[in-house]
Amino acid sequence: MKIKAAVTPKRGEPFELKDVELPELNSNDVLIKVTASGICHTDVSGRDTGMVNPPSVLGHEGAGIVEEVGAEVTDLQKGDHVVVSFASCGKCDNCLANHPAHCENYAELNLNSHIDEENKLVSRFFGQSSFATYSLVNQRNVVKIDKDIDLALAAPLGCGLQTGASTVLNVLKPESGSSIAVFGVGAVGLSAIMAAKIAGCENIIAIDLHENRLELAEELGATASIKSGNVDVAEKIKEITGSGVQNILDTTGVDAVIKQAVESLDTFGKLATVVTDDGFTVPLEALALGGNSIVGTSQGDAIPQKFIPELISYYKKGQFPFDRMVKFYEFDEINKAFEESENGSVIKPVLKINQ
């Protein structure tokens, strides 16, 4: 099947809209007419770092309408509205223990994409490669959603927003009345801010370099904000809380920032990180003396088929107004969308594809 896709021709180069061949539908597959796809920082990494083998098709926050299902797919049918999330094997110990985001085959299934010499998309980014007019995915990736929510709006729930909110609600699990700090309030961090408000945190502190993000964080639930840079963030946090925070989410992956975060923890506090750089050094003495812990997480350890409908329910109740961070772009504006995401002027770009 011939589709139109935004192709990464070489590492670090702009996207080009080209015709690409999609493989045949297998018995466990679902063919989706993509109506929208969010743009996530991992797509930037896929384009620029050698994560994939170009030419490739990226995109991993797809949403659309089911066009066709394989013979073994029983809970989806043509016309269903769906969000597409990460891929998992469903067979390893972690998947069988209801931790698909920590699938033993996660890297193989998600972190690659390639177009072969016959112009066929032989491996798909996060099992979907949603920067395209159609996406072929395994049924395990697919989350059926209500038809009363805009599919273009729902698209980014598949990765970034899920990661931030689920890391708070399902990994940190803050007690009502506790304190939390979020280092880096892009799409993941702002989702965490909203989730912390849902959880009933008393002090919700946003830390970022960008004033516009901090302002939005306060509108979405942050009780205080700190503009990082030439300030002692840990000292500022302790001025606000008295003794530090019980919970921290770091979305930056920057070693120096994580060190500040550890210094901001109250006794027996927990820090969750969704990504780290190669030079990550843990201040062990601070952890030991404070009885603190650091935990890593993928996708907030979420089960998408359960958690994404929960987020939509929160949205409908006005508790998770993630539409405040979204800006829409036409498909052929993909390079502009990436540019505005990278310069910080837009928090969550979403491409409208089949509209």
Q: Please, what is the average pLDDT of the chain?
A: 96
Burial of 30 (C-beta count, 10 Å sphere; 0-12/13-18/19+): buried
The pLDDT, as a whole number, for residue 283 is 75
Report the percent of the chain where pLDDT is more than 90. 93
Are 20 and 2 in contact by the 8 Å Cβ rule? The answer is yes
pLDDT, mean of residues 325-344 = 96
96-123 pLDDT, tens digit each: 999 999 999 999 999 999 999 999 999 9
C-alpha distances in Å from residue 244, one per residue of 134, 181, 293? 48, 9, 14
Are 56 and 102 in contact by the 8 Å Cβ rule? The answer is no
At residue 209 the predicted structure's pLDDT band, cuts being 50, 70 and 90, is very high
The pLDDT, as a whole number, for residue 241 is 97
Query: Which region among 156-165, 231-240, 273-282 has the lowest average model confidence (pLDDT)?
Result: 273-282
The pLDDT, as a whole number, for residue 287 is 87
pLDDT, mean of residues 145-165 = 97
At residue 245 the predicted structure's pLDDT band, cuts being 50, 70 and 90, is very high
Q: What is the DSSP letter of 22?
A: P
At residue 276 the predicted structure's pLDDT band, cuts being 50, 70 and 90, is low
3-class secondary-structure state, position 182:
strand
The pLDDT, as a whole number, for residue 347 is 96
Euclidean distance between CA atoms 350 and 337, whole angstroms: 8
Pairing of the two strands 224-227 and 245-250: unpaired
The pLDDT, as a whole number, for residue 277 is 63
Are 155 and 83 in contact by the 8 Å Cβ rule? The answer is yes
Domains of the chain: 2-158+321-352 (3.90.180.10), 163-298 (3.40.50.720)
The pLDDT, as a whole number, for residue 278 is 63
Name, in order, each residue with C-beta under 8 angstroms of 313's C-beta and a sequence gap of 6 or more: none
At residue 284 the predicted structure's pLDDT band, cuts being 50, 70 and 90, is confident
Helix H or strand E segment including 141: none
45-102 pLDDT, tens digit each: 999 998 999 999 999 999 999 999 999 999 999 999 999 999 999 999 999 999 999 9
